[in-house]
Amino acid sequence: MKACILMGSPRKKGNTNALLEPFIEELAQHQVEHDLIWLYDKRIEPCIACRVCQKDWKIFGCRYNDDVQEIFDTIIACDVIVLATPIYSWYCTPPMKALLDRLVYGMNKYYGDNQGPALWAGKQLAIITTCGYRPEKGADLFAEGVKRYCKHSQLQYLGMLAERDLGYQSIFMDAEKAQHSCFFAQELFKHTWR
Ligand SMILES: Cc1cc2nc3c(=O)[nH]c(=O)nc-3n(C[C@H](O)[C@H](O)[C@H](O)COP(=O)(O)O)c2cc1C
């Protein structure tokens, strides 16, 4: 069992990372391997709808020679994808959105007249997010978008952990949020623990 955590926060010591840390510690305690990719450190060009990726159904096949091929390979090698992101304007941050666009074409070979496979079919996906509004009003649209994205991509959506940030004057992380993060890891992976 291996997780691939796609981290969309620009802040290395920010709220989303603080929420992610107990999750990762829980995985480590139970020998669940993980890759953590900080998307703001990567070169991720936006999709330009050239559809070159639709020609060969066996490979990612994008015309860009940026860091997405390497991310693609990491995702193909994992069982569970974790989207960790702060909410920006009711959705994920720009590099994650750019990556999701690149993957929704590069992974799914069924655009236009194509009837090819989803190269990542059957993998599982979960969200860890932080937002300024209550999660029901801050993270709901992102969750809904990701659910449809998963359905379209033949991925199994596992659920979302969302916690509220009350602003720069207050400390985000506390014991309760840390516990939620541990529980979320347990919910996702406990069936694989001995
Ligand atoms: C540009 C920007 C846009 C934001 N948009 C939203 C939003 O639409 N809804 C929301 O609930 N919070 C929004 N927030 C608040 C962040 O989601 C929240 O502060 C988050 O915890 C920041 O996480 P980080 O420390 O990992 O960057 C926004 C913050 C920024 C900087």
Total number of domains in the chain: 1
Between the CA of 1 and the centroid of ligand 1 the distance, in Å, is: 31
Q: How far apart are CA 7 and CA 11, in angstroms?
A: 10
Strands across the sheet containing 124-131? 33-38, 2-7, 80-86, 124-131, 156-164
> From ligand 1's centre to the CA of 19, what distance in Å?
14
Please identify every stretch of the chain with a pLDDT value under 50, giving residue numbers as ranges: none
Backbone angles phi, psi at 92, to 5 degrees: -75, 175
Mean pLDDT of the chain: 97
Both structure tokens of 92: 């994920």
Give me the CATH number covering residue 184.
3.40.50.360
Q: Is the CB of 165 under 6 A from ligand 1?
A: yes
CB 79 within 8 A of CB 121: no
Q: Please tell me if the CB atom of residue 54 comes closer than 6 angstroms to any atom of ligand 1.
A: no
**What is the model's pLDDT at position 194?**
60
Q: How far apart are CA 35 and CA 2, in angstroms?
A: 8
Task: Give the pLDDT of residue 138.
Answer: 98
DSSP state of 109: -
Range 174-180 contact pairs with CB under 8 angstroms and sequence separation of 24 or more: 177/18, 177/19, 178/22, 179/22
Domain encompassing residue 32: 2-192
* pLDDT score for 133: 98
CA dihedral 130, 45, 117, 191 (to 10 degrees): -30
